[in-house]
Amino acid sequence: MKVKFIKSASKQEDWIVDEKTEICFIGRSNCGKSSLINAIAHTTVARSSSTPGRTQLVNFFDCGKFRLVDLPGYGFAKVSKKVKDYLEVIIQEYLLYRKNLFAVFQVCDANVVTEDDASMSKFLQQRFINHFVILNKTDKHPMSTYQNNLARTARFLGTKIDNIILVSAKKKTNIDLIDKKIKKTLALISK
Residue numbers at the binding site for ligand GDP (CB under 6 A): 27, 29-35, 48-49, 55, 73, 136-137, 139-140, 168-170
Minimal distance in Å, beta carbon 111 to ligand GDP? 8
In whole angstroms, give the CA distance from residue 61 to residue 64.
Answer: 9
Contact 90, 79 (CB under 8 A): no
Nearer to ligand GDP, 33 or 131 (CB): 33
Nearer to ligand GDP, 65 or 171 (CB): 171
Minimal distance in Å, beta carbon 50 to ligand GDP? 7
Nearer to ligand GDP, 122 or 170 (CB): 170
Minimal distance in Å, beta carbon 46 to ligand GDP? 7
Phi–psi pair at 179, nearest 5 degrees? -55, -45
By CB atoms closer than 10 A (0-12, 13-18, 19+), residue 92 is exposed
Query: Pairing mode, if any, of strands 58-62 and 4-9?
Result: antiparallel
Nearer to ligand GDP, 22 or 70 (CB): 70
Minimal distance in Å, beta carbon 19 to ligand GDP? 28
Contact 114, 28 (CB under 8 A): yes
